[in-house]
Amino acid sequence: MTSALIQFAERGNVLSLADALKNAGFTIMVVFAVLCLIFIIISIAGKIFSATGISDKPAAAKTEAAAAAPAAAAADEEEFSSGSLKLKGCDEKTAAMIMAIVSDNTGIPLSELVFKSITLVEDK
Amino acid sequence: MIEVISDLWSQSGIANMTWQQGVMILLSFVLFYLAIKKQFEPLLLLPIAFGMMLTNLPWPGGGIFHPEWFQGGINWAALGGHGVDPVTGAEIEPGLFDFLYIGIKLDIFPCLIFMAVGAMTDFGPLISRPSSFFMGAGAQFGISFAFVMATILGFDAQGAASIAIIGGADGPTAIYLTSKLAPELLGAIAIAAYSYMALIPMIQPPIMKLLTTKKMRQVKMEQTRPVSKVEKICFPVIVSVVCILILPTVAPLLGCLMLGNLFRESGVTERLSDTAQNALCNIVTIFLGTSVGATAVGTNFLKPETLKIIVLGLIAFAFATVGGLLIGIAMYYLSKGKINPLIGAAGVSAVPMAARVASKVGQKENPSNFLLMHAMGPNVAGVIGSAVAAGVLLSLFG
C-alpha cells in the first residue's frame, strides 16, 4: 500500500481526491496503529508492575503531593477556620488543594504559610 | 542642496520599500498587539513578529534573510560570503537570519524545543490511563481532514501535508514537517499554528458543547492509580523504541521529546532537566521564533495561498477537536459513563492549553469537577500522535 502512495511524492503534483482520501486514511490508520501498540505495551507493563508491587511505590513527588493535601485539609480545620482565611467562590476542598500546591511548589511547610484569602477569579 | 536631499531620499529605506514590505511590517505590528496586549502565545508570537518586521525592512545591499538560498538544500557557498545577485552580479553578504535559519533547515531547533517539552511534561496521567492514547490518536483526524481539504484547494501533496499538520496543534512538529516538505509555506503555517493554539479557548468550547450532552459534560471521573517511578522511566524508552522502529522518520522529534522526559524522570540528571526546561528552551525559542518570522517575506507571504492556509488551519483545528471528542464519546459509552468525553478534545496536543480548556468547560457544568489531570492524558498522547502523523506524512511525501 505504501509504495502505491509514494509514487505521488514529487513536488508540484496535486493529488486526485481519491488519492488524497487514500493518503489521509492511511495516515490516520498508522497513527491509530502505533498508538494502539504503545497502549498495549504500556497496559501490559502497568499490569506487570502492579503484579510485582512496583506500582505500589508511586513517584516521590506524587507521594509528597498526596500527603500535602490531607495536611492542608487538616491545617484548614486547625489554623484557617473561624474567619482567618476568607474564601470567595471557593469551597474548602479546593482551598485545601490550592494551599497544598503552594506549599509543595514553594517548599514552605504549611505551618509556616499564612493565607489571607482565596478568591475565584472569573475570566473576562 | 536639493540634489543631496534627493540622493538621501533615493538611498533611504522608505523610497526602496515595496508595498508588500509595507503590508508585512503592518502585519507584524498586528502580531505585536496580539502578543503583548492579548497575550496570544507571546513567547513565540513576539519573536516571530519581530523577525517578520526585520526581514521586511529594506536592507541596503541585500537583506537579513535570503530564502532563495534554502530552496532544496542549503547554499553553503552563499553563506560563506560567495553569494551573487543573479540580476546585478553584485556580491551579497549573508544576513543574521541566514545563519539562524540553518537551525530550522537542519531540524535542530524544533527537536531541541521538543526536548524541552519532554522535560516539562509529566506522562503520569497517560501511563495511569493508557486508553487516553485513543483520544490522542482520534484528535489527529483533523490532520487527515485538512489534508484532503488542502488537496481540493489545489495544494500539492507536500504543501497539503504541511498545512494539515497544523491540526496537530503542535508548533515544533508543524515547523519540522514544513521545513522539510514545503519550506516556502513555513512563515504562514507557523503563524497560523501558533495563532490558533492561542485561540483554543475560543475554538474548542462551542464544538464541545455541540457534540456532547450536559449529562456527559458533568461526568466526574475517578482518580487514576498512582504511577511508580520505574514506570515513568520505562515509558520514554518504550515509546522511543516502538515508534522509531515503526517510523524511523519520526526519530529526531520523538527521540528528543523522550530524551527530555527521561532527563526529568530519571532523577539523576536534574541539571540537564533544568537546563532543557529553562535556559535551553528559552534560547531556542528566541532563535526559532525570530528565524520563522524572518521567513515571512512579503513577496512569498502575500499570496492567496496564505489566506487558504489560515482557513485550512482553522478547519484542521476544529476537526481535530471533533475527532478527539468523538473518541471521547465512544469511551464514555464503553466505560458506561465513567469517562467524561470532554477530555477527548484535549487530544489536540497544545499542552497544557487544551487540557485547561477541557477542565474549564467541565467545571462550568459542575463546579466540583476537576478534569485537568484526566485531560492531561489525552493531551500528552496528542503530542506523540501528532509526531507520529508527521512521521507518516514525511515517509509518504518527503
> Is A100 within 8 Å of A69 (Cβ atoms)?
yes
pLDDT value at A43 more than 90? yes
Which grid cell sits at B312? 485550512
Domain spans of chain B, in order of start: 121-397
Residue of A38, A87, A90, A104 to mutate, interface with B, max B Cβ within 10 Å: A38
Distance between CA atoms of residues B133 and B213, nearest Å: 23
pLDDT value at A68 more than 50? no
B371 CB neighbours in chain A (<8 A) are none
> From the CA of A56, how many Å to the nearest CA of chain B?
7
* pLDDT band of A74, cuts 50, 70, 90: very low
> Is B200 within 8 Å of B302 (Cβ atoms)?
no
Tell me how far CA of residue A6 lies from CA of A22, A33, B389, in angstroms: 11, 19, 16
Residue of B37, B126, B129, B133 to mutate, interface with A, max A Cβ within 10 Å: B133
pLDDT of res. B88 = 72
- B210 phi and psi, to 5 degrees? -70, -40
Mean pLDDT (chain B, rounded)? 91
For B167-224, how does the pLDDT look when each residue is reduced to its tens digit (9 = 90+)? 988 889 999 999 999 988 998 999 888 888 888 889 999 999 999 999 999 999 988 8
Lowest mean pLDDT among A32-36, A88-92, B125-129: A88-92
A1 CB neighbours in chain B (<8 A) are none
> From the CA of B15, how many Å to the nearest CA of chain A?
36
pTM over 0.90: no
pLDDT of res. B335 = 93
For B340-370, how does the pLDDT look when each residue is reduced to its tens digit (9 = 90+)? 999 999 999 888 889 999 999 999 988 888 8
Average pLDDT over residues B308-319: 93
A46 CB neighbours in chain B (<8 A) are 127-128, 130, 231
Which grid cell sits at B149? 481539504
* Closest by Cβ to B232, choosing from A6, A56, A59: A59
pLDDT value at A67 more than 70? no
Distance between CA atoms of residues A120 and A122, nearest Å: 6
Sign of the CA dihedral B44, B373, B251, B390?
A: negative
pLDDT of res. A122 = 66
> Is B46 within 8 Å of B81 (Cβ atoms)?
no
- Give CA angle at B27 (B23, B28), nearest 5°: 120
Report for B46-60, B124-138, B289-303: range of highest mean pLDDT = B124-138
Chain A residue with minimal CA distance to B223? A66
Helix (H, G, I), strand (E, B) or coil at A118: strand
Distance between CA atoms of residues B98 and B290, nearest Å: 11
**Percent of chain B clearing pLDDT 90 (strictly above):** 64
pLDDT of res. B60 = 66
pLDDT of res. B61 = 60
Interface check for B395 against chain A (CB to CB < 8 A): the answer is yes
Interface check for B131 against chain A (CB to CB < 8 A): the answer is yes
For B13-38, how does the pLDDT look when each residue is reduced to its tens digit (9 = 90+)? 788 888 999 999 999 999 999 999 98
Q: What is the ipTM, given to two decimal places?
A: 0.87
pLDDT of res. A59 = 53
Which grid cell sits at B350? 497544545
Distance between CA atoms of residues B73 and B271, nearest Å: 36
Average pLDDT over residues B93-107: 90
* pLDDT band of A69, cuts 50, 70, 90: very low
Q: Do B238 and A28 touch (CB under 8 A)?
A: no
